[in-house]
Amino acid sequence: MALQDELLKLRTLLDNEEMEKASELTAEIRKNYTSQEDKDRIDEFISAGLDQLIEETDIFINDMKIRMQLIEILDVVSISYIAKKYFNKSRQWLYQKINGNTKNGKTVRFTQSEIDTFNFALQDISKKIGSIAIHS
């Protein structure tokens, strides 16, 4: 089997989180492919995988930060109102974004534009509430 095929097999194991098998295959690949060119390709593969892992971790951390900030307001502000008034979407759509649900095999997350819209909505609601004073 060619090195590229072995690396594709390794990628599949890593994607499926079969770490023990991936570790065994990595050791086998390193043992069987010893030329400098092969070592460089293996190192590039590992480096690309680490870069991808870092990027995915950064995205996950950002998603968690957003969720943690929103948890504080979920009991105070109507998510249905925000979804309908500011996004022209359903409450379920907004909850999917907040919770990071998976839809069609992809994690649903806020785009930067949607974050901007959500921030505008919160500021707008804040101004509306702040301008109200009940008088008798």
Per-residue model confidence as pLDDT tens digits over 98-112 = 988 988 888 899 999
**What's the pLDDT score for residue 55?**
92
Q: Where are the alpha helices (DSSP H) in 16-35?
A: 19-32
- Using a cut of 0.75, tell me whether the model's pTM lies above it: no
pLDDT at 75: 85
Q: What is the pLDDT of residue 128?
A: 93
Summarize pLDDT for 23-82 with one digit per residue, the tens. 898 999 988 989 999 889 999 998 998 899 899 899 899 889 988 888 888 888 999 999
pLDDT for res 92: 94
pLDDT value at 1 more than 80: no
* Spatial distance between the Cα atoms of 93 and 83, rounded to a whole number of angstroms: 8
pLDDT at 87 exceeding the cut of 90:
yes
What's the pLDDT at 126?
93
Can you read off the two tokens belonging to residue 71? 């948890």
The pLDDT score that the predictor gives to residue 49 is: 87
Burial annotation 18-38 (CB, 10 A radius, 16+ → b, else e):
eeeebeebbeebeeebeeeee
Q: Between β-strands 106-107 and 102-103, what pairing exists: parallel, antiparallel or unpaired?
A: antiparallel
pLDDT at 86 exceeding the cut of 90: yes
Q: How confident is the model at residue 14 (pLDDT cuts 50, 70, 90)?
A: confident
Contacts of 89 (CB under 8 A, 6+ apart): 83
